[in-house]
C-alpha cells in the first residue's frame, strides 16, 4: 500500500475523534504485514488520564484481533476547524507501545495531508528504545 493511501485512511479515521476538551483531532492508520489496516482516533475523557491516543487505539484494535506484525503507521492531527500546518508525531506513551509490537524499523508517516508528509522510523523517534529484547 502506498503511503498516500494510508494517509487518506488516517484522515478518515480522524473524523471519528472524540475531543470535546482539546478540540485537537488525531487519526491513525496502522498497516499490518498481512495488508489489513487498523484505524484509530483519539478519545478524550473529562478526567484526562483515561484518554487514549489514535495510535494506541489502532494498535490495540490490531493486537486484540491477534495481529502482531506491522509495516507502517500514518498519523496526523490538528485543531478542529483549522487547517493542518504542522506534523503531529506520536506521544511518548504511543512511541513506547509501538516499540513493544513494531520495533525500531517501523516507518512512521507524519502527514499534514496526502501530499505533505515526513517519514521517520520509530527508532529515530524513540532512540535507545526499551523493548522486549531488553528483558531477555
**Catalytic residue ranges:** 55
Helix or strand (DSSP H, E) at 32: strand 24-32
Residue 29, Ramachandran bin (φ over 0: left; ψ between -120 and 50: alpha; else beta)? beta
- In degrees to the nearest 10, what's the CA dihedral of 77, 38, 122, 98? 110
Phi, psi of 39 (to 5 degrees): -105, 160
Specify whether the CB–CB gap between 55 and 28 falls below 8 A. Answer: yes
Amino acid at each position: 500500500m502506498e503511503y498516500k493511501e494510508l494517509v487518506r485512511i488516517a484522515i478518515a479515521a480522524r473524523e471519528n475523534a472524540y475531543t470535546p476538551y482539546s478540540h485537537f483531532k488525531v487519526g491513525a492508520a496502522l498497516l499490518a504485514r498481512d495488508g489489513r489496516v487498523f484505524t484509530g482516533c483519539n478519545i478524550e475523557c473529562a478526567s484526562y488520564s483515561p484518554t487514549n491516543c489514535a495510535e494506541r487505539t489502532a494498535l490495540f484494535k490490531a493486537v486484540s484481533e491477534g495481529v502482531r506484525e506491522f509495516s507502517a503507521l500514518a498519523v496526523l492531527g490538528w485543531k478542529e476547524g483549522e487547517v493542518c500546518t504542522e506534523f503531529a508525531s506520536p506521544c511518548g506513551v504511543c512511541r513506547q507501545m509501538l516499540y513493544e509490537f513494531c520495533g525500531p524499523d517501523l516507518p512512521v508517516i507524519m502527514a499534514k495531508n496526502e501530499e505533505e508528509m515526513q517519514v521517520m522510523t520509530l527508532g529515530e523517534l524513540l532512540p535507545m528504545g526499551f523493548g522486549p529484547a531488553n528483558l531477555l
